[in-house]
Amino acid sequence: MADLATTFCGLKVKSPVGVTSCDFGGHARLARRVAEQGIGWLVGKTVHRIDGPHRWPRPHFYSLRRFGPELRDAFVSSQMFHHLPYDRWLAEELPATLEVCREHGVLFIGSCCGIGEDPETWIPFLRDMAAAGVEAIELDTGGPHATFGAVAAHHAVGAPLALDPETAYRVTLECAKAVDVPIIFKMTPQCVNMAEVSLAVERAGAAAISANNAFYGLWIDHETGTFLGVPAAMGGLMGRPWQVYSLAKLLEITATVQLPVIGGGGVFTYDDVVRHLMGGCSLVGMCSAVYARGVEVLGKVDRELRSWLDQKGHASLAAVQGTVVQDLRYLREWPRETEMADESPLLPVIDVSRCTECGRCARLCPYGALEMTGRPGEAPALETEHCCGCGWCTGQCPVGAITMVHAASGRMVWDGRGTIADWVGWE
């Protein structure tokens, strides 16, 4: 069976799959529940001393499940940092959580948040955690709650720190100098210049980057004509589709710096984990999946990841880690015609033996180029002068009967899987 063991900042980890900062790392009782599922690592719930223990609004999790099947895993959350007083967490929950992690061979990563660039608001946590035996510490510099309308004490907390490369540099520099434990900088997905922030924290001595914290979000209940939950902007968790975005943000980092990265954002299944590994993550985190689908989702991912690696004949993670990073390029650099031909050089070819005549391609063709003939046994008719060669029919066909073909050469360009062939210049 495939070996999931890996290393992160020089530390041995039994699996790349873990749980990012949230309740499950905040209490030993909850840590045990996720540790028993076979995870390799667990980040503590962020601790702080900003304005006394956080009093979260209750209720604080607002599920969007009833707003449509595509939102079944999505929610907004007005929960903030750890609600326990810091000293109590340090004296009781931290040692107990470390004990649970030791018992299960799980790497525990601490998480803390200070205020702005003031080192005195960060360093005491780092020293306390290091003294307690925490082996790596994440700076929660990406939290969404402080982005808009935060109370005065929060305005330099969370996401604002990860949006500005200079601020990110100064916070990381002080923290990395203060302790002999790897310091991990946590990004916000709201950052538009991820590459610059990554370079800044690399320069400052961060040992790794964690990408990403939650989005910023709110929801409106159209039936009641009010906001859902708290009438405020807060943490928005978008479920599995968020992964499209988190992968793009991940690659901005992994294609730029050499630092190890904890990736995540919408990871729900084993193949989501594989995608993040291929995108250059050392570790892949799950968080809202555990809330939306239960702790068992972690054990399932562990089993399915091993069996997928076995099926592919991969003995270890090395076969998939970072495999696509070098292929990333700017879209503007992708080869294309100097001028787009009026009639598309690429046309869909429909395999009649597979076509079920469901009509989906004709209904969805955005250019109106496909039409059902109404005669049984016939593939949809193509009006080549309207076809734009877009490939939508290829991706939408439920039975994979449509391929995009280079008309002049007859060579296949795309069957809906993997990267399109670089066909420009084909005769």
Ligand X SMILES: Cc1cc2nc3c(=O)[nH]c(=O)nc-3n(C[C@H](O)[C@H](O)[C@H](O)COP(=O)(O)O)c2cc1C
What is the closest distance, in whole angstroms, from the C-beta atom of residue 285 to ligand X in the complex? 6
Nearest to 213 by CA among 241, 242, 177, 193: 242
Residue 140 is a binding residue for ligand X (CB under 6 A): yes
What is the closest distance, in whole angstroms, from the C-beta atom of residue 210 to ligand X in the complex? 7
Question: For the purposes of burial, counting CB atoms within 10 Å of the CB of 169, is it exposed (0-12), middle (13-18) or buried (19 or more)?
Answer: buried
What is the closest distance, in whole angstroms, from the C-beta atom of residue 215 to ligand X in the complex? 8
**Spatial strand order in the sheet of 346-350:** 346-350, 402-406, 411-414
What is the closest distance, in whole angstroms, from the C-beta atom of residue 143 to ligand X in the complex? 6
User: What character string, x for contact with ligand X (CB under 6 A) and - otherwise, covers 104-133?
Assistant: -------x----------------------
Neighbours of 293 (CB within 10 A): 16
Beta bridge pairs of residue 48: 113
Q: What is the CA radius of gyration of the chain?
A: 24
Span interacting with ligand X, options 17-25, 123-131, 400-408, 414-422, rule CB under 6 A: 17-25
User: Please, which of residues 187-216 interact with ligand X by CB under 6 A?
Assistant: 212-214
CA angle 308, 309, 315 (to 5 degrees): 160
**326 phi and psi angles, rounded to 5 deg:** -65, -20
Residue 77 is a binding residue for ligand X (CB under 6 A): yes
Inter-helix orientation angle 243-254/194-203, to 10°: 50
Rank residues 104 and 186 by Cβ distance to ligand X and give the closer one: 186
What is the closest distance, in whole angstroms, from the C-beta atom of residue 260 to ligand X in the complex? 16
User: What character string, x for contact with ligand X (CB under 6 A) and - otherwise, covers 237-276?
Assistant: x----x---------------------xxxx---------
Residue 15 is a binding residue for ligand X (CB under 6 A): no
Question: Cα(267)–Cα(246) distance, rounded to whole angstroms?
Answer: 9
CA distances from 2 to 16, 288, 311, 313 (A): 13, 27, 9, 8
Residue 93 is a binding residue for ligand X (CB under 6 A): no
What is the closest distance, in whole angstroms, from the C-beta atom of residue 141 to ligand X in the complex? 8
Enumerate binding residues for ligand X (CB under 6 A): 20-22, 45-46, 77, 79, 81, 111, 140, 143, 186, 212-214, 237, 242, 264-267, 286-289, 291
